[in-house]
Structure 1
Amino acid sequence: MNATKYIILLLLLPLLFGCSNDGINNNNRYLPNYGFSVDINMELPLYTNLQFTGNPVYIDQAGVGITGIFVMNTGGGYVAYEATCPNQEISECSGMFLQGITAICPCDEAEYNLFNGQSTEKEFPLKQYRVEVVNPSVIRVFN
């Protein structure tokens, strides 16, 4: 009987500890977690900036993020963030805009660095999404 318990425990351990969040913490009381997946073909003119470091792109396809996403090549990989202000309830002014490598929230004028998603003055960083390189010209962003 004891051997059966140990076998069951050994079988359950990978399920309990096998999930990974890739170091992404998306616990934000203001922003809901909507599931999505989008493939970005960097050979298309709209996304060619992603082939170069420090050139973010705003993607506002329906069903991608809350108000869209920002994607950027950091030189060491790609990052993707929600384009909705992370430190307040969703409202008419929640859609952020880009200024260089900075995302700016028009509601409170908070600025967020797109290399790391951080703001020096706010509680929550930008909501980060997972990025997977499918092949040299296609990346997938998903939640």
Structure 2
Amino acid sequence: MKKTLFLASVLLILSCSSDDNGDNNQFLPPSSVNYQINLNLPQFNKLKFPSNHFVDISENGSIKGVIIYNIDNTQYSAFELSDPNHSPSSCSAQTIDGITSTCNCDDGNSYNIVTGQQTSGDGQFGLRRYSVRREGNTLFISN
């Protein structure tokens, strides 16, 4: 009985998997985003106020850039700027209007930049989320 219980426990543990790499999007290549934004700099002033966004297209490790949205000064969202439902191309960077990001290709894809969920168009993937942490006047963005 003890052997059977031990064997069942070992099989159960080995069958568990980690969700550390939950991004199985075949359209977007892997990216390594890890940088800081100093909110004291004038170009990031909009991010000091809730309901404002900033699109960072600098060399930050993303594919097309990062959309950063200030939810309430303590919570921020950050997402990949490239449309997650087709391969990166000349038109796959999105345009932001309010809390909606829209793909510039003719596919009709749009997304909510607070939640990352797709709001129109076809596709199975939401926006690729990046982690945002605020410490004082610095935002740390990573994946």
TM range (shorter): 0.7 to 0.9
In the alignment, which residue of structure 2 is the partner of 1:90? 88
Aligned residue for 1:79? 77
Equivalent in the alignment of 2:114: 115
For residues 1-143 of structure 1, the aligned pairs below 5 Å read 21=20, 25-75=22-72, 76-107=74-105, 108-121=107-120, 122-133=123-134, 135-143=135-143
Distance in 1 separating the partners of 2:71 and 2:129: 14
What CA distance in whole angstroms lies between the structure 2 residues aligned with 1:78 and 1:115?
8
Identify if the C-alpha distance between structure 1 residues 101 and 36 changes in structure 2 by more than 3 Å, giving closer, same or farther.
same
| Partner SS state of residue 47, structure 1 | helix
Q: Take 1:105 and 1:72, find their aligned partners in 2: how far apart are those partners?
A: 17
Cα shift at 1:50: 1.1
Please list every run of at least 4 consecutive aligned residues from structure 1 whose deviation after the TM superposition is greater than 6 angstroms: none
* 1:109–1:48 Cα change, 3 Å: same
Note the C-alpha offset of 1:27.
Answer: 2.3
Q: Is the 8 A contact 2:35 2:60 kept in 1?
A: no
Aligned length: 127
How many angstroms apart in 1 are the aligned matches of 2:22 and 2:52? 24
SS in 2 for 1:141: strand
Task: Structure 1 unaligned segments of length 5 or more: list them.
Answer: 1-12
Query: Alpha-carbon deviations, 1:12-70, whole Å to 9, x = none?
Result: x9xx98x775xx94221111121121100111111111111111100011143101100
Q: For the aligned residues, what is the CA RMSD?
A: 2.4
Equivalents in 2 of 1:53, 1:118: separation in Å?
A: 20
Compute the TM-score of the two structures, normalised by the length of structure 1. 0.78
